[in-house]
Structure 1
Amino acid sequence: MRRNEADRDRASLRRRLEVLRLPVSTLRRAGHLLPSSTDRDWERTPQSVGVGPDQQPVAVWNDHSRPQRRLVTAHDDRGRALRSVVLDGCLLPTFVQPLPGDRILLVSARRREGSNAEVWDFDGHRHHAGDLGDAVEQVLTTPAGDIWVGYFDEAKSGSGPQTHGLARFTGDLRPAWLYPAGPDSPLPSIFDCFTLNVTAETAWTCAYTDFHLVSASGTQATDHGRAPYQGAHMLLVDGRRGALIGGYAPEYDLITRYRTTPDGPVTDGPPRRLVLPDGMELRDFRATARGPELHIFIRTTWYRADLDSLGADST
């Protein structure tokens, strides 16, 4: 007999109470991102924010009154804006990433018509416009200037690179490699790229529905085995160790550390919860995972954690 909605709610509550009894690991406050201390043209919450291979943030801010005018800022490791550029006529980005040569990648998650990606420079010139596919869920660039893109489930109803679940593009927005998809592929399917982590030139994912830990570099992808936890939305990686963060419903702030063995990934220590520095729960945040580093943005506040801190008790 199917459980009704009240039964599901009670089960979710019981699990949430169990999770709340777990030890916690806290984020640390890294800084605040602001468009300008004097120019009041810009909205005070970024339209999009990302973290580059150097672990430094870039952000896009909308103009209060001019819909196609935006400010892009690049920040140091304390959140201070080091440089900025005003872009007139650029798309409305869901994602922003740096590219080599002082270039900026802007990507919209949905492709309505024409292109959904643009490459600009810090002199305000647009170099490329292109199509990275619809239903974009994750975008991360590499030190060499490649672009890794993960897609959510609605991509499957389209055509082209997006139907593969994971794709790599060149810096001028051309497809360079597609994740092997289809019934003949020995790799687990990517129906929804819940997690994406890019360190150096290698991408890592633990995707719905199979939730296998998979790495991709060059033209090769490797299946490291089924993850010890299914449903995480953030993934940290450092060699053979890592962490899966987040989960469904009552487990949304769960930390599951793992290590990779010849038999596949296994848990590495008891589960924990990830919380803000004051112990409050995470809500309404944006996250980027780069190697062993996790970056969390809540409005203009930037928080960080790493694999080592996720295994330590917070006092």
Structure 2
Amino acid sequence: MVVDDLRGAMFSRSRSKDRQPRVRWRGALAPPSGFDSLVSVGVGVSGPVALWASAEGAPKLHERDEQPGGASFPRTRPSAEPAVALAAYNDSLTAATVAVIPALSVAYPHVQQFPDGAFLVVGARCSWTDSGPEQNAIVIGADGRIIRRGCLGDGLQHVQVAADGTIWAGYFDEGVFGNLGWGGPNSPDPLGAAGIVAWSRVFEKTWELDPDEGLVADCYALNVAPDAVWACTYTDFPVVRIADGHEQVHDTEDVTGPSGIIAAHDRVGLIGTYRDPSRLIVGSLTDGVFTETSRTNLWAPDGAALPMAQVHCRGSVTHFFSNRDWYTFDLNEFE
């Protein structure tokens, strides 16, 4: 998951040690042998999925091109393709499955796993060129063999694989409105113009929001749960529930910049705001409105501030990854 410092980092201010609720520390993910640098981590149906590289190879996957005047832009491909290990943890700290790829051709990778054990790696950025789009999506067998390549477009903020193998993608603004050759007068519309898109395993669109409705300028939070897909999107930050090919939009009040969304039965929790990434806002959905019932903060197990972390949500659970350390918070355990 690509997360900027404001939306993806859990806050660093010191806090009182007697506050609730607290996240649970699950432990530190163990790296595969020979690959000690965590490049990317996500959460699949069965637990964490991670992409590891060597200390020398990892920086190649997060390179930027420097421009005159100090501006820099993320590369779509590494300058040299490092070897990587894909690891599925199945709700454990030790990988149950590891697949080694001798050379990875995409940068800023998202990683997921399909129900049959194959891996999905998707580069967050993707250019359109005169010869067509870059191939930023790769299906890799559990044996490390590349099964398929394709394109999911530019600007991938979230990628999650559902239990039925559907790939759900949430796009940030450049993936919605166009950049890197997409959306120009002589190039195709961005593949992520709808903001939220469902793809098949062979990289064909199976569903998307209506791009003309403009519901998504940036998909801030996405959660592929067992019975629905949940999202919270810029600009108005509604709670969006997608099920059976239809979306329901619920208006919110005083919600800005969430990095995560979780759901349990008739309750929904939003994780983080622009000002306070540890904020937890819980409410219910009624008649097209998210009605807030509580607003509090999440704390580390010892009552201190949560460390800086990536945020991934599945069902009722928020997963926080601070480098190798894995923390969780389950909305079902919060009254």
TM range (shorter): 0.7 to 0.9
Q: Identify which of 10, 20, 23 aligns with 1:24.
A: 20
1:116 aligns with 2:136: yes
Distance in structure 2 (CA, Å) of the matches to 1:172 and 1:279: 46
Q: 1:42 to 1:265 in 2, by over 3 A?
A: same
Deviates more, 1:231-240 or 1:101-110: 231-240
Q: Identify which of 176, 180, 187 aligns with 2:210.
A: 180
Instruction: State the Cα distance separating 1:128 from its structure 2 match.
Output: 1.3
Correspondence for 1:207:
233
Q: Identify which of 230, 246, 260 aligns with 1:220.
A: 246
Correspondence for 2:64:
none
Tell me if structure 2 keeps the 8 A contact 1:241–1:259. Answer: yes
Correspondence for 1:12:
none
TM-score (normalised: structure 1): 0.83
Tell me if structure 1 keeps the 8 A contact 2:171–2:192. Answer: yes
Tell me if structure 1 keeps the 8 A contact 2:154–2:191. Answer: no
- Residues 36-51 of structure 1 mapped to structure 2, 5 A cutoff: 36=32, 39=33, 41-43=34-36, 45-51=37-43
Instruction: State the Cα distance separating 1:218 from its structure 2 match.
Output: 4.0
The structure with higher relative contact order (CA 8 Å, sep 6+) is 2
Instruction: State the Cα distance separating 1:108 from its structure 2 match.
Output: 1.1
Instruction: State the Cα distance separating 1:72 from its structure 2 match.
Output: 1.0
- Deviation by residue 1:89-123 (Cα, 9 ceiling, x = unmatched): 23345211111221101011111461111010111
Correspondence for 1:77:
91
Distance in structure 1 (CA, Å) of the matches to 2:283 and 2:96: 37
CA RMSD after TM alignment: 2.4
- Residues 1-315 of structure 1 mapped to structure 2, 5 A cutoff: 23-36=19-32, 39=33, 41-43=34-36, 45-54=37-46, 56-65=47-56, 67-91=81-105, 92-112=107-127, 114-155=134-175, 156-157=177-178, 158=182, 159-182=189-212, 185=213, 189-200=215-226, 202-226=228-252, 229-249=255-275, 251-262=276-287, 264-269=289-294, 271-311=295-335
- Deviation by residue 1:134-163 (Cα, 9 ceiling, x = unmatched): 111011110110011001112212323211
Q: 1:93 to 1:68 in 2, by over 3 A?
A: same
Distance in structure 2 (CA, Å) of the matches to 1:21 and 1:99: 40
Tell me if structure 2 keeps the 8 A contact 1:26–1:310. Answer: no
Counterpart code for 1:104? F
Q: 1:189 to 1:22 in 2, by over 3 A?
A: farther
Structure 2, unmatched stretches of 5+, are 1-11, 58-80, 128-132, 183-188
Counterpart code for 2:274? Y
Q: 1:284 to 1:94 in 2, by over 3 A?
A: farther
Q: Secondary structure at the match of 2:38?
A: coil
Distance in structure 2 (CA, Å) of the matches to 1:121 and 1:20: 47
Q: 1:171 to 1:49 in 2, by over 3 A?
A: same
Distance in structure 1 (CA, Å) of the matches to 2:293 and 2:211: 31
Count, aligned residues: 284
Q: Secondary structure at the match of 1:101?
A: coil
Tell me if structure 2 keeps the 8 A contact 1:69–1:87. Answer: yes
Instruction: State the Cα distance separating 1:214 from its structure 2 match.
Output: 1.1
Percentage identity across aligned positions? 27
Distance in structure 2 (CA, Å) of the matches to 1:227 and 1:307: 20
Counterpart code for 1:198? V
Structure 1, unmatched stretches of 5+, are 1-15
Q: Secondary structure at the match of 2:282?
A: strand
Instruction: State the Cα distance separating 1:310 from its structure 2 match.
Output: 4.0
Distance in structure 1 (CA, Å) of the matches to 2:280 and 2:52: 32
Q: 1:218 to 1:227 in 2, by over 3 A?
A: farther
Distance in structure 2 (CA, Å) of the matches to 1:76 and 1:115: 28
Instruction: State the Cα distance separating 1:308 from its structure 2 match.
Output: 3.1
Correspondence for 2:60:
none
TM-score (normalised: structure 2): 0.78
Q: Secondary structure at the match of 1:207?
A: strand
Instruction: State the Cα distance separating 1:77 from its structure 2 match.
Output: 2.4
